[in-house]
Amino acid sequence: MINESVFLPEHKMNLSLQEAEAYFGIDQATLISLLTRPEYRPFFLVVGNTALVKRSPFEQVIQQIQSLPSCEGPYDMVQSSSNLNLENRINAPCAMPSLELEDSMKYKINRTITIGNQQKWIRADTEQEYADKLRALFSSFEAEQQKHLFSSYAWDWFNTYSKPNIAQCTATNYQRQITKYLIPSFGSHFVEDITPQDVQTLFNNMDVKKATKAKTRTVLNMIFQAAVEDGIIGSNPLLSRRVRISGGSSKTIPVYSREQMQYLVAHIGDVQNLNDRMFLALSVYHPLRLEEVLGLKWENIDLDHNIIQVRQVATHPTRNFPEVKAPKTESSVRDIGLCPDAAKHLVPQNGELFVLGGDKPYSYTQVRKMCDRIRRDTNFDEKITPSRFRTTVLTDMYAETKDIKATQEAAGHTTAAMTLQHYVKGRGTTHGISLVINNLYS
């Protein structure tokens, strides 16, 4: 029975045998017998040759023992008017079951040591054996301390080698992959301990499209490659042939029908806002990226020669705060013919001003609201999506000219394969193609 009337300072967590005898109401002989039992040893601390009782956790042990039901037979609990005979009770057949810990009674030395905020038991027959085990324990701890925590290493790589040397929108994407996927999976791991199996588990648990997994793979690969160069790991676990990345494909951007494009062209004049009207005229006639339209200044519009000069883009790496910079590739820097019908809707201003926005380019929020206004003003039957205009124009440009190189240059792509694979969509049907073969061979 716990005697709370015994004065003990609140901060005193370890009790001597004398203090424990008075506080718990247990004689020292019983305490010592408990001290030798493997299942109760975690509640005692041996400092040198002095045995101490851990006050708080041992209270729970006493309460559990006292709450056990009486047992029949020669080990019945013996009760007095004031105390329970714990020695009889803990030996009873119905007492708390053993924790099946290592039988350490064969060792002459049983001591604990705290290292790295963890308590370790060292058991030995001689002082020399104890010293050897203690030395090995510290060596193992020091070796672990020299390892590199993935979270720290990943952020060091990002802030030193990646972020200062790439575009802000790319840096934002890399940071998102680290924060959302890599740190939750590997943050508490050491770089040296990550295996191909750990990498495969990461990708297996990502409930996203294959394209998103590929972005995460790109960042993880650069981190591991840096670790290889630093001599931290011998090989990149991501490059194991066993690692496979699967997942559903991202949805392709559909094209507007020719009837829809003709409808929008016919209703450009119905758009009330001047900026909205100019945006629609530039988008439905030209294969421009949204960031290219937003980056256009009036000095890039040559109305005398009907030329659009793509020289800068306006991106929004933090959503609504624009960053004006050069296009990502040399192929994106190009001149595009300005359609005469589109030029009719352009009202030129000072050359330094942006076509859309004036002093600064439109934000994504402004673009979204603009698209809603255009749809409302034209009574268009689908959502106005800037990226669909680019895909649609490139599709029809190739369909009418069959000139893939000219289409590639208009798109600003490095290779024709990029244009064909991602932007040129078929306008015909399998039935129509069958008729072409039928007429060709008949």
Q: What is the DSSP string of 147-215?
A: S-BHHHHHHHHIIIIIGGGS-HHHHHHHHHHIIIIIHHHHTTSBGGG--HHHHHHHHHH--S-HHHHHH
- Are 227 and 349 in the same domain? no
Q: How far apart are CA 32 and CA 16, in angstroms?
A: 12
Domain membership flag for residue 5? no
Domain membership flag for residue 324? yes
pLDDT at 166: 85
Domain membership flag for residue 284? yes
Q: SS3 breakdown of the chain: % helix, strand, coil, rounded to 5?
A: 50, 10, 35
Q: Do 150 and 191 touch, CB atoms closer than 8 A?
A: yes
Domain membership flag for residue 433? no
- Per-residue burial over 348-372, b = 16 or more CB atoms within 10 Å of its CB, e = otherwise: eeeeeebbbeeeebbbeeebeebbe
Burial (CB count <10 Å: 0-12, 13-18, 19+), residue 25: middle
- CATH number, domain at 193? 1.10.150.130
Distance set, CA 342 to CA 65, 114, 285, 380, 411 (Å): 89, 77, 7, 19, 18
Q: Is the pTM of the predicted complex or chain greater than 0.75?
A: no
What does the pLDDT profile of the chain (442 residues) look like in tens digits? 566 666 676 667 787 877 877 777 777 777 776 766 666 767 777 666 677 778 777 777 676 665 555 444 333 333 333 344 454 444 444 444 443 334 444 667 777 777 666 677 788 888 788 778 877 776 666 656 578 899 999 999 999 999 999 878 788 899 999 999 999 999 888 999 999 999 999 999 999 888 899 999 999 999 999 999 999 999 999 999 999 998 876 677 788 999 999 999 999 999 999 999 999 999 999 999 999 999 999 999 999 999 999 999 998 876 667 889 899 889 999 999 999 999 999 999 998 999 998 999 998 889 999 999 999 999 999 999 999 999 999 988 888 888 999 999 999 999 988 888 878 877 665 556 566 666 766 5
- Are 136 and 194 in the same domain? no
**Domain end among 109, 126, 145:** 145
- Are 276 and 329 in the same domain? yes
Domain membership flag for residue 427? no
Residue type, 7: F
**Domain end among 187, 209, 239:** 239
Query: How many residues in the chain?
Result: 442
Q: Do 340 and 304 touch, CB atoms closer than 8 A?
A: no
State the number of CA atoms in the 13 A half-sphere of 74 facing the CB. Answer: 0
- Are 414 and 292 in the same domain? yes
**Domain end among 239, 267, 298:** 239
- Are 378 and 287 in the same domain? yes
Q: Which of these, 213, 113, 238, 221, lies nearest to 162 by C-alpha position?
A: 221
Domain membership flag for residue 201? yes
Domain membership flag for residue 251? no
- CATH number, domain at 386? 1.10.443.10
- Are 184 and 163 in the same domain? yes
- Are 98 and 180 in the same domain? no
- Are 228 and 271 in the same domain? no
What token pair was written down for 263? 């409808």
- Are 304 and 380 in the same domain? yes
pLDDT at 119: 74
- Are 266 and 340 in the same domain? yes
Residue type, 310: V
- Are 285 and 378 in the same domain? yes
Number of domains in the chain: 3
| H helix or E strand, kind and range, residue 421 | helix 416-422
Q: Do 144 and 138 touch, CB atoms closer than 8 A?
A: no
pLDDT at 224: 96
Q: How far apart are CA 344 and CA 282, in angstroms?
A: 11
State the alpha helices, DSSP H only, in 93-157.
Answer: 127-145, 150-157
Domain membership flag for residue 56? yes
- Are 124 and 139 in the same domain? yes
Domain that holds residue 327: 258-422
Q: How far apart are CA 292 and CA 312, in angstroms?
A: 7
Q: What are residue 93's phi and psi, to 5 degrees?
A: -60, -25
